[in-house]
Chain A
C-alpha cells in the first residue's frame, strides 16, 4: 500500500528542498526522494581524505537571499556562518594582492573611474536582481497578471532614468572584455572583474553575453545583502542539513538512497514515480529538481512529449567548464602579497583579461589550458574543524576545463594537475611540498558525483537564449512541464543556479497559484 502525497519532489538539492518546504508551509503533504545518501545535491560537505573535508561543489555563498534564511528559520535549524562579508583579492606573483573593494596602485584615471563604474554596474545588477526575484511572465501576455508583470518590469527599467536605461540597453548584450576596456585601464583589476563574469559558464571575457552574466553575479550579491560573500560553518553540507531539518520540522518526508527510475503517468497526467527497486509511489503532482534532460528525456521519456519540445530539450546547452580542486595541506601556504585578512577571503588568479581568454580558448577544442584561472579559498582558516589540527584545506575552482577530456582522459588530467600546480607555485612558492592529499573533480566527475548534467553548475548555460523568459526553453510554461502535473524546480529553471534557492521557491509559488494546485 503506497501512501498518497500531494507532491513528490525528485532530488533533495537545495532547490528541491526549498520547493518542498514552501509547499509544506502551505499545508501540502510532501515527499522528497533523493538518490544519494545525503541531502544537498551539489551543496554538500565532502570528505576527500581521512580527516579532511571540503564543500563539494560551490564553496562560498554569494547569493543566498536573506529572505530565505529568515522565512525558513535556517539559523534555528543550525545554519552558522564561519565568515561573512569576505573580501576578494586578485593575486599578483610580484606584488601585493589587489583588493577588489578598495584597489590600490591604480593610475589616476582608473582611481577616479572605478568607484562610479562599480556603482553604476551595481545599479544595473539591482534591476537584474528584480528579475531573479520574479517568476518570468508568459510571453503570450493573455493574462492580466502577466501583462502587469511585464509592465512593472518596463516601469522599473524606465525609472532608472533615461540615460541609465539607454546605457543598460547599450551594454546588455556586450562582452565584458569590451565593457571593461571602455572604462578601466588596469589589467589585473579588469582580469579579476572579468573572472566573475565568466565563472561557471561556457564563455571567455570576449564571448557575447558576458555583461549579462556579470550582472547576474552582481544581482545575486545584492540578494545576499549584508552577509555578502560568506562561508558556512561545517561546509556547504551544513547549509543543506539545516534546510533539511527545516523541512522535516515542517512535516516534509525526506527519503535518501531512493533513486527515481520513472515518472508515472495516468491519462496524460503525472501521477507518481517508480523507484529503482520497482516500488511505486503516488502523488497528485511530481516536481523535479533534477536536470531538464534527465527529467524529461530519461525519467519521463521523449515519447510522452511532442517532437518540437524534445528537439528544444535536446538542444538545451549544459557544458560546464569548472573543475574543482581539493588539497589537504600539512601547513598554511604563503601566497605572495596576500596578508592574513586576504587569505581568509577569496583569492583570484586571473591577472588579465587576455590571460582569462587564453585559459578559455583551449576548452573550445576539448583541450587543457596551459595557465588555468583560479578562485581559491582556504576554508580551514575560518573553520578549523574541516582538517586535522594544524593542517589546512585549499579549495579551488579551476577554469576552464572541458567536459570531454579527449581521447586520453588520464593523460589530460595529469597535464591539468601539472598546469594548475605550476600556476599555484608561481603565486605560492613551496605549496606543492605541503600537499598531503589531492582531489580533482573535472566537469564529467561533477556530473557523475552530483548529478549535474554536463557538470554545469546551473544545470544549463546562463545566456540570453536560456535566461528569464527563455529558461529553460522558449515558449515553455516556466516551472510547469508540458505534461500536466509534472513541474520543474531545479536550476535549469529561472533564475538558474548558485546557492540561492530561488528556482525552487518560484516553482512552489507557481504550483500553489496554478489552477490545478494539489
Chain B
C-alpha cells in the first residue's frame, strides 16, 4: 500500500474505528486514568510526546483491524488426529492469534497500550517514536508517563534465542530474552514466550496488577473464539469476581495492592485456568514473532547467501571488516568461514541455515550513563502511591548481574546456582542480533543523518543515536585522546561528544575488550554501516507493515553528530545505592 492510500485509510478508519471499536472500551469501567504522572524536569519529556503516542495508537489500531480481517479469512478449524492437531490452518491460527494480541490495546491497564505501542514493524519491532528514541529512551507506559529504563528491544529473531543456560563446558551464559536475559524460558522452555509475559504486568509498561487481568481482558476480546479454537474450548471459562474490572483498571505497584501479586481472587481451579491461559498468551505472541511477518529472513544478505544478489563494493568491504579487522562477528556470528587474506577466495558455506548475527551471549561494552533516561527522574510517588525509581541517579544498570541477584528493577532469578556468577556478569547486556538494526520506515528508510531518516536509539540505554556512532564507539572507545573520565554532557572543551570524546563507562567492571580500539578509518566505519544495512529484512519481498509509519521523517546534519543537540549534562552522581551495588555477591570492584 502506498503512503497516500494509507493516510486516507487511516483518516477514515480513525473515525470509524473510534466509533465502532474504541469508544465502547476505551474508558475503564471504574473511570478514566488520573492526570499524568510527570515528575520530570522541563525538557526531559519530548514536546510531541502525547501527539506521538496518539499517532502510534492510530497505527496500532489499523494493524489490529488488519489482523481481525486475517482471522475472519481463516478457513474453519479442523481439529483432528491423535494428538489432536489443527490440520492445515494451525500455524496460521496461532500466529494470527498472536498478532491480534500484539496489537490489542485493551490488554493494558487503561486499555490504551498494546505490545506494539513500543514495538512497531517499521522499526524492526523496536521503539516507534523518534523523539522518545532521541531523548527519554524508555517508552511511556499505559499510565502516562511512567516509563521503563531501557530501549525497546527488537522482536525480530528473538524467538531463536535458547533457554537461558549456564553452559558448563564454556562456563558462560547463553540465551534468554530481554537486555538482562531475565526472561529465561525456564518454565515454558521458551524465553520468547516468557518475555511476552513480562510487559503486560510491568508497572511501567502495560501495567496490569495481576496476570489474571490479561486473561480477563482476553475473555472479553473480540477474538476470544480464536483463542478457544487454538487453545481449547473452556480455556477462558473463568469465574472472575465482580471487582475484577476495578482491580484490572488499577496499575500495578499501586499502594492499595501492597505486596499482593494476585489481587484478583480466583478459586484454585480458576487460577490454574488463568495461569494456563497466560502461558498461552506468551506462546501465541511467540508464534507471531517467529512468523514470516516478523522474522522472515528476507534481507539482502540472505539473498546473497542464496546467490540471488551481490553486495556492492562498499558492502563487501564492510563485510570483510565486520569479520576481520573490526572483529564484529566474534559476537555477531555470521555463520561463515574464516577471514580471508588478500588474494584468497571465500569458498566457505554457512554453518547454519540462517545466521542470526548473535552469539546469544552477553557483554559489557562500556556505555556511558545516559542522563536522558526517564528512569532517573521518577523519584516521587505517583497518583497510586508508586515510585518507579526511589534511587534516582543512585541507580546503576548492572544488567545480567542484577538479574542474577534477583535485584531491583529486574526479575526473580529462578536458578540459585547462578547467583555466584553475578560479579562477573555486572554491566553485561544481551548481544542482540545485528539483523534489522538498520530497519526504518519505508518513507525514511535509513537510521542515518542527513536522511530523511528515522531516529533510533541503540544499545540498552539508547546512548548511541546512529549506526555510524555505534561503529565509531566500537572503534574508538579506548582511544586515549577520546576516553575521558567525565560523565555525559561534560566532555572537555574542544572535543565533541560521541565523535572525539567518550565519557566513562557507567559500569567499568567486566568491560569487553574485544573491541574499543580497532584502528578503522572513517571510510571503513561507513563501510561497516553499509554492510549492516544489508541485514534489513524486506529486500527479497516487502516487509509487512513497514509502510504504516505516519509520523515525520527527520533530515539534516551528519550521522556522526546525530542527536548531539539533545545531550544534557549529567548531574553529579551519587554513589551506586546499596540496594543495587551492595547486594551479595558483591561486584568485583566498587562501582562508582
A and B: partners?
no
Residues of A within 8 A of B (CB): none
